[in-house]
Structure formats: C-alpha cells, structure tokens
Structure 1
C-alpha cells in the first residue's frame, strides 16, 4: 500500500466519521438523545449496519465522541472571548466568558442539552480520557480567571482537595500550583451561577418571567462581579 493510498483512505475515513457525527447531531436536534441510533444513521447514510460499526463500535462510543466535540466547541467559544478580554482584568474576562457561554448555548440548544441535560438512559461518560478532559477545559479556563482575581483573605472556605474531583483537581494543581482548593471551589460556584440562568432559559422556564432573558442574565453577571469584588 502506497503512502498516497494510506493518506486517501485516512481522509475518506475522517470525512465519513464527520458525516456520521453530523447525522447524529441532526437526530439529536429532532428527536433528542434517544433518537441517536447507529442503525438509523447507517440507513440515512446508505451504509450497512456492519459498515458503521467499523467507525463506532457502539452507540455510546458515538455519544462520547459527540460530547468531546461539543465540550471542545463550547470551550473554544469561551477561550476566544477570554483571549479578546484584557489580560490583567479578571472582571472583564469573566464577563466575556459568561456572555460567550450564554450565546453559545442559545445558538446550540440541542448540543447544550446533550452535555448538560437529563442523563441518557444506559449511557455513562468514561471516567477519564478525552471526554473528561474536554469537559474540564471550561472549568480550568474559569479557574484561571479566578486565579487572577483571587483574594485569599476574603475566602476562607473549608474545602480540601479531597472534596473535589481528583482528575479535575490534578489538572488545576498542575496548571496553577499555588492555588488552594478553595479557589477551584469558587470557580465551580461561579460556573453554577452562570449556568443556572442559562439552563432556565434553554429549557423554557424564563418564558413567562421575562421577554428579555439576555438582560436578566447580564444583570446577574454584573451582580456576580460585584459580589466577587474584582
């Protein structure tokens, strides 16, 4: 087999893999996570069931691949906003990342619901590997912002590293060795505050409360920054 043939096969495989993911995302949008079926995707693509299993051995493997892509897409959007903010201004960085988080979620509802919605029956995300690393990217970015704005004297949380996910804790300790566990705990609480209103909006729970959820969200982010005193 020549190098050109190998490269061509790899390229075709990558194209087919991407197409399978695209069809799965359409099924997700139309039918929810329950609509993701390897056999149904194969039928839509004109493939045999046996052929699609050579790309993804199980439905769960496909869902995990989708979650990796989605978590990375969200983290990329947040990273772009973070990079555009002043490098020495934690408040501006958090405002930018929070805004990017909501904008991405509103533009990618099905994807948001896949990674943050109800558990998928029978599915369990792998305990480690690319999926977990992708899921942690946004938290590590947020922890970097907390590190910039961190005021130790104002934070006396009785949190230890043992109270936190060991994989995430190890990643944060490698990136920010001088930060205490309370800083990571704060970044989780900040994310929870941002995530809460976005989730209510995505699932339609703000419809009868406000015609302008973006204004309510912006006001809450401003209040959060005031509480942090950055």
Structure 2
C-alpha cells in the first residue's frame, strides 16, 4: 500500500475504468448511443469483450457509470457558475445555474441526450453511481429553492386548488428531498423546471430548428418568464434587473 492507502494495483484499475468510460463516451459522440456496446468498447480498448467484464458486470453497469460521469460534469459546471455569485443573491445564482446548464447541454449534445432524453432501462438502485450523481445534480436547484423559500417565499397557489393526485405525488417527492418544502412550493418549482427542461430538450434535439437558428434569446425569454414565478427579478447575464409583477406571497405578505 502507498502512503495514501491506495495500492498500485488499485490505481491501475481506476485508470483503466476511467479509460473504458472515456472510450464509451467517444463512441457515443462519434456514432450514437446504439454504438456503445460491451464489445465495441472492448475493441476501442484493445481487449476482448469477456475481459471488459472484469471491470463492469454488464452493459447496464457501464451505462450507469458513464451517465454518472456526465451528471458530475454538468453538476460541477452549474455549481461553479452558481457559486461565482454571492450567497443570498438568489436571482443571480439560479439564473447562473440555468445558463450553465444550457451552455453544457448545447456543447455536449450527445451526452445531454444520453442522460436526459434516452429511456432509462437499467434498474434504478438508490445507491447506484447514476442515482447518486443524479441527486447531486438535482440538489443544485433544490438547495437554492429551499433557501429562497426560507428567506423570501414566493407566490404559490392554495394547496386545496391542486388536484388530489398532484398533491399526493408532490407530497411524496417533497418528503424524499428532505428540504422541508411544502407541496405548493414544489408545485411552482416543478412548473418552472418543466418549462425550462422542456425547452432545453427541444433545443438539444433540434426540434425547433425549423424556426430558430439562434435559441439563446428564446432561452432567455423562458428565464424572464420563470423568474417572476419565483418572486425574483430577471437579470441578464451582465445587465440590470427587471422587476417582476407583484403578487401575494405564500405567507400572506406582498411577493418580493
């Protein structure tokens, strides 16, 4: 064992695992998701298919590991952009994270499609690398929303106005996050997320090319619509704020 407690054999194994995941990523980018098979990755590595099973139990485990890499890369980009803004500057931090997400997505279209636009066939084990990395990605937004709700609650509907089925689903999700957010706040957050995520998927999958050759202003328009729903001022990447219309906050005071 080395002074750091990691043997040379383990270092070599970790390096090989990283090389395998990089080979899978190359195949994804160059040939598409269908090309990422155990045998194809093994050929890229100069080894046999059976030899690759010494590192990954099968295709699903390989897919999960590569997906976890993409999640971590995207999460880091979003956290870096968010944390470049001062704590408490909720509008700047949320908008920076959203813009970083789009920037990563449009410059890594194959990876984004692999993570978000492909059906998930692997078993969703809570402790799998993919699920753990996915939750870290999710936390980038949830943590900021929870802090915003605590210090500056945004306008929300009365819970009784939501259909019972939606309330129950949101209640289960809220409990799973451990953030202490009420269902009505989760409802507003999810409405914003669906709008943002749906637009980004359409852009990355080239579904709006028949109209738009430049999607950035369309994305910014989406952010401009979302910000007031969270009681925030919309801010351009380097410009002044635009105040949202005032409404009533979740706790009865004026939304601000």
TM-score between the two structures when normalised by the length of structure 1: 0.86
Separation in 1 of the partners of 2:171 and 2:123?
Answer: 15
Deviations 1:178-220 (A, max 9, x none): x213323333222222112211111112222122201111122
Q: Which runs of 5+ in 1 are unaligned?
A: none
Contact 2:79 2:97 in 1 (8 A): yes
5 Å-filtered alignment, 1:78-93, equals 78-93=78-93
5 Å-filtered alignment, 1:162-201, equals 162-164=168-170, 169-173=174-178, 176-177=179-180, 179-201=181-203
Q: Aligned with 1:154: secondary structure?
A: coil
Max Rg structure: 2
Do structure 1's residue 109 and structure 2's residue 114 form an aligned pair?
no
The range that moved more, 3-12 or 126-135, is 3-12
Separation in 2 of the partners of 1:36 and 1:22?
Answer: 11
Deviations 1:121-169 (A, max 9, x none): xx22423113222212232221222223332663424477741495x54
What is the root-mean-square deviation of aligned Cα atoms in Å? 2.4
The range that moved more, 157-166 or 191-200, is 157-166
Taking structure 1 as reference, are residues 35 and 132 closer, same or farther at Cα in structure 2, changes over 3 Å only? same
The structure with more helix, counted as a fraction of residues: 1
Number of equivalences: 222
Q: Aligned with 1:128: secondary structure?
A: coil
Contact 1:90 1:149 in 2 (8 A): yes
The range that moved more, 153-162 or 74-83, is 153-162
Q: Which runs of 5+ in 2 are unaligned?
A: 233-256
Query: C-alpha displacement at 1:29, in angstroms?
Result: 1.3
Deviations 1:2-31 (A, max 9, x none): x25961111111111011001101111122
Query: C-alpha displacement at 1:117, in angstroms?
Result: 1.3
Do structure 1's residue 149 and structure 2's residue 148 form an aligned pair?
yes
